[in-house]
Amino acid sequence: MAEARTVHLVQTAVAMGLIEEQVSLCYQCGTCTGACPVAAAGGMDYTPRAIMRMIQAGLEEEVLSSQTIWTCASCYLCTVRCPRGIQITEVMTQLRNLALAKGYKARKGQVYNQGFIDIVRRHGRMYEPELVVRYHLLTNPLNFIGLAPVGLKMIAKRKLRLLPDHPPGRPEIRRLFERLKESERRKEQGE
Amino acid sequence: MKYAYFPGCSQESTAEEYNRSLRAVARRLGTMELEPIPDWNCCGATPAATVHPLLLYALAARNLAIAEEMGLDVVAPCAACYKNMNKASHALNDDPELLDRVNATLNGHRLRHAPKVRHPLDVVVHDVGLDNVPVSRPLRGLKVASYYGCLITRPEGGFDDPERPQSMDRLMEALGAEPVDWPYKTRCCGGAIYMTTEEISFRMSADILAYAKAAGANVVAVGCPFCQLLLDLYQDRLEALKNMTFNLPVLFFTQLMGLAMGLDRSELGLEKLVVSPFALLAETIDRPGEEMPKKSRPPAPKLKRWGEAEQ
Ligand code: SF4
Ligand code: SF4
Measured on CA atoms in the order B209, B212, B215, B218, is the torsion positive or negative? Answer: negative
Q: Which residues of A18-48 are buried (b: 16+ CB within 10 A; e: fewer)?
A: bbeebbebbeeeebbbebbbbbbbebbebbb
Taking the Cβ of residue B14 and every Cβ of chain A, the question of whether any pair is shorter than 8 Å is answered with yes
* Binding site membership of A75 for ligand 2 (Cβ less than 6 Å): yes
Strands (E), B161-309: 178-179, 219-222, 250-252
* Binding site membership of A36 for ligand 2 (Cβ less than 6 Å): yes
CATH number for the segment(s) B2-120? 1.20.1050.140
Question: Would you call A175 and B107 a contact, using CB atoms and an 8 Å cutoff?
Answer: yes
Taking the Cβ of residue B91 and every Cβ of chain A, the question of whether any pair is shorter than 8 Å is answered with yes
Q: Which of A89, A90, A93 is the pocket-test mutation for ligand 2 (most atoms within 8 Å of CB)?
A: A89
- Give the tens place of pLDDT for each residue, A7-53: 433 444 556 777 888 899 999 999 999 999 999 999 999 999 999 99
pLDDT of residue B80: 84
Domain boundaries in chain B? 2-120, 135-283
How many residues would you count in chain B?
311
Residue B53 has its nearest CB partner, among A77, A97, A153, at A97
pLDDT of residue A136: 62
pLDDT of residue A162: 59
Q: DSSP 3-state assignment of B35?
A: strand
pLDDT surpassing 50 at residue A1: no
pLDDT of residue A3: 42
CATH number for the segment(s) B135-283? 3.40.50.11810
* Binding site membership of A38 for ligand 2 (Cβ less than 6 Å): yes
Residue B171, amino acid: L
What are chain A's domains?
Answer: 2-101 (1.10.1060.10), 108-189 (no CATH)
Taking the Cβ of residue B94 and every Cβ of chain A, the question of whether any pair is shorter than 8 Å is answered with yes
pLDDT of residue B197: 80
Ligand 1 atom nearest the C-alpha of A29 is 4
pLDDT of residue A189: 66
Q: DSSP 3-state assignment of B43?
A: coil
Distances (CA, A) of B305 to A146, B267, B308, B310: 45, 32, 5, 10
CB A163 within 8 A of CB A129: no
pLDDT-derived band at A2 (thresholds 50, 70, 90) equals very low
**ipTM of the assembly?**
0.82
* Binding site membership of A89 for ligand 2 (Cβ less than 6 Å): yes
Closest C-alpha among B5, B14, B37, B28 to residue B252: B14
pLDDT of residue A141: 60
Helix (H) or strand (E) holding B68, with range, is helix B55-70
- Give the tens place of pLDDT for each residue, A116-141: 676 777 677 666 666 666 666 666 66
Chain B residues touching A147 at Cβ < 8 A: none
pLDDT of residue B192: 80
Cα dihedral B252/B257/B260/B265 (nearest 10): -60
pLDDT of residue B163: 85
Cα dihedral B210/B214/B217/B222 (nearest 10): -30
Residue nearest to atom 8 of ligand 1 (CA): A26
Per-residue pLDDT of chain B (311 residues; tens, 9 = 90+): 899 898 887 766 677 889 999 999 999 998 899 989 888 888 877 776 776 778 888 888 888 999 999 999 999 998 888 888 998 898 899 888 888 888 888 888 888 999 999 999 999 999 999 999 999 999 999 999 999 988 888 766 578 888 889 999 999 999 999 999 999 999 999 888 877 788 899 999 999 999 999 999 999 999 998 899 889 988 999 999 999 999 999 999 999 999 999 999 999 999 989 999 999 999 998 887 644 444 455 555 555 554 455 44
pLDDT surpassing 70 at residue A170: yes
Closest C-alpha among B215, B245, B248 to residue B232: B248
CB B48 within 8 A of CB A117: yes
Question: Would you call B193 and A110 a contact, using CB atoms and an 8 Å cutoff?
Answer: no
Which residues is B5 bridged to in the sheet?
B36, B75
Residue A167 has its nearest CB partner, among B39, B54, B196, at B39
